[in-house]
Structure 1
Amino acid sequence: MSLGNRLRERRERFGKTQLEAARGLGISNVQLSRYESDDRKPDPEMLGRFAEYYRTTTDYLLGRTDNASPDMGAPSDNREYPAFEEFINNPEHGVFFKDYLNAPEERKEEMRRFWEFIMEKEKGRKPGDKQK
């Protein structure tokens, strides 16, 4: 499978449109389309951004392995926190948690606890209500 096919496969696995993924990656939809169609090859920095955004490894994207899992045997499984994961993948919120995917496990746990605190404070709050 080519790099472009693997990029498309990962994007579709996360249920993202090209436009959503491009925004999340900070590139244009046209650029992403060219990468996915193998018309263009990403530089090493962009390849790393793809791996981080799609929660995989550069080795997987380059076809060096068929294991798409970024952390073999890592103690944390973010699928336990689907709402948190959705929150950090929102481009408007992701800036605050931009280092989450590369953070040590204790830092990740701290960020998840902080997010839970925020969500508890916001529970029942409607748009236009003052923050507590």
Structure 2
Amino acid sequence: MFSDRLKSLRIQHGKTQQDMADFLGVSRQGYAKYENDLGEPDNSKLAKLADFFAVSTDYLLGRTEKQNLTSEEQDEVAFKVFSEDPELKKFYRELYESDEEAVKKLRDIWEIIKHERK
């Protein structure tokens, strides 16, 4: 169940096995073991996968059919991921100290990026 859901989510998000391996800090072969039901990630990697795909660990493990997190749960996950990444923390601090014009430019750039991803 885990391997099937992991592969399905990866494909839905347009990621390669190498992308996911890099994200988790494992080799591509190590990641492939997860998708081929030859191994399982440790708890911290399982949590990272759930956060990345915005699903619960219970969904990944096949304990529930509810794939999507609520909006509030997604906000909590996004904040957690954001706050645990040292580079993003630095970015957030710099953004917080920026003037209104810089923040507006960043929002405009983000809208362009979101549009390109669709």
TM-score, normalized by the shorter chain, greater than 0.5: yes
Q: Which structure 1 segments of 5+ residues have no match?
A: 78-87, 89-93, 99-106, 124-132
- TM-score, length-normalised on structure 1? 0.56
Deviation per CA, 1:47-89, whole angstroms, max 9, x where unpaired? 111111222110000111111112x252878xxxxxxxxxx9x
Following superposition of structure 1 onto structure 2, how do residues 92-103 of structure 1 map, counting pairs within 5 Å? 96-97=87-88
- TM-score, length-normalised on structure 2? 0.62
Alignment length (residue pairs)? 94
SS of the aligned residue for 1:68 comes to coil
Separation in structure 1 between the aligned mates of residue 6 and residue 66 of structure 2, nearest angstrom:
14
Deviation at 1:36, TM superposition (A): 0.6
Separation in structure 1 between the aligned mates of residue 74 and residue 46 of structure 2, nearest angstrom:
24
Separation in structure 1 between the aligned mates of residue 73 and residue 43 of structure 2, nearest angstrom:
28
Following superposition of structure 1 onto structure 2, how do residues 1-132 of structure 1 map, counting pairs within 5 Å? 2-70=1-69, 72-74=70-72, 96-97=87-88, 117=102, 120=105
Letter in 2 for 1:74: E
Deviation per CA, 1:13-41, whole angstroms, max 9, x where unpaired? 10001111211222211111000111002
Q: Which structure 2 segments of 5+ residues have no match?
A: 76-80, 110-118
Q: Would the aligned equivalents of 2:3 and 2:37 in 1 still touch at CA under 8 Å?
A: yes
Over 3 Å counting, the alpha-carbon distance change for 1:55 and 1:39 in structure 2 is same
Over 3 Å counting, the alpha-carbon distance change for 1:76 and 1:31 in structure 2 is closer
Over 3 Å counting, the alpha-carbon distance change for 1:12 and 1:120 in structure 2 is same
Separation in structure 2 between the aligned mates of residue 47 and residue 76 of structure 1, nearest angstrom:
16
SS of the aligned residue for 1:96 comes to helix
Letter in 2 for 1:51: A
Larger % of helix: which?
A: 2
Separation in structure 2 between the aligned mates of residue 26 and residue 38 of structure 1, nearest angstrom:
19
